[in-house]
Amino acid sequence: MKMLQRGTLFLALAATATIAIAQQPASGGKKLYCWNEGGRKVCGDALPASAVNSARTEISGKSGLPGQHIDRALTPEERAAQEVRQAAAQAQADQALADQRRDMALAESYESEEALRRAYKIRYEMVDEGLKTSKMGIDNQRQSLLQLLHAAADAELKGGKVPAKLAQNVLTQRASVVDAQQGYRQQQQERANLDTQLQEALSRYRKAKGLDPETGLPPSVTAPANNPRA
């Protein structure tokens, strides 16, 4: 009877010990670190302060397989260059989003391509009217300059010397003509830019409407080819 009790007690103690052992963490679960130091590979279960900024690979102590790889810390110069690249990429993404919103607003503002062309026609008329007015102004200023030059020539013929006030008026009027001509050339450039702006607006409008940017036709429709007669 005593032997039976001792056997039962032994089994109970063995079961308790088994459960306790099972509940203990496995010693092999600790991570290992591998890094390069002085041109050689070093591994350890703790990372020294000298290797904190080094590239390293974490290895599972349980499976022995490589896990997470951590790159080395960037230098201040590398970090600054990375920030510049990130800022440039963000600016590019912001610009792309702004362009998309602009194109959608363009598509919603005009019910048809013809309506867009009419809006630009008004701008063409305004620029052309400005060119016409500037040309007339230049012609008038040239006439005034010619009159002053004739007066200066007459003064030289009569007295041999051009009055200081008249000479100053000639210089002032000549500067006015030059300024007016520069303004006229700028208006001509604006007129040329308007052609480019119209084509870009048409391309964006068509793209926003799901049409071919070049032809204005649906993607499934091909523009007819111009076949010359044989």
Q: At what angle do helices 113-159 and 164-208 cross, to 10 degrees?
A: 170
Helices (H) and strands (E) in the chain, counts: 4, 4
Give the 3-state secondary structure percentages of the chain, helix then strand then coil, rounded to 5. Answer: 65, 10, 25
> Is the whole model's pTM more than 0.85, yes or no?
no
Question: How far is 156 from 153, CA to CA, in rounded Å?
Answer: 5
Highest mean pLDDT among 41-50, 104-113, 144-153: 144-153
Q: What is the pLDDT of residues 56-67, one digit of tens each?
A: 888 876 776 787
Question: How far is 125 from 133, CA to CA, in rounded Å?
Answer: 12
Question: How far is 230 from 36, CA to CA, in rounded Å?
Answer: 76
Q: Can you give the pLDDT at residue 226?
A: 54
Give the Cα-Cα-Cα angle 106, 107, 112 (nearest 5 degrees).
115
Q: Is 42 helix (H, G, I), strand (E, B) or coil?
A: strand
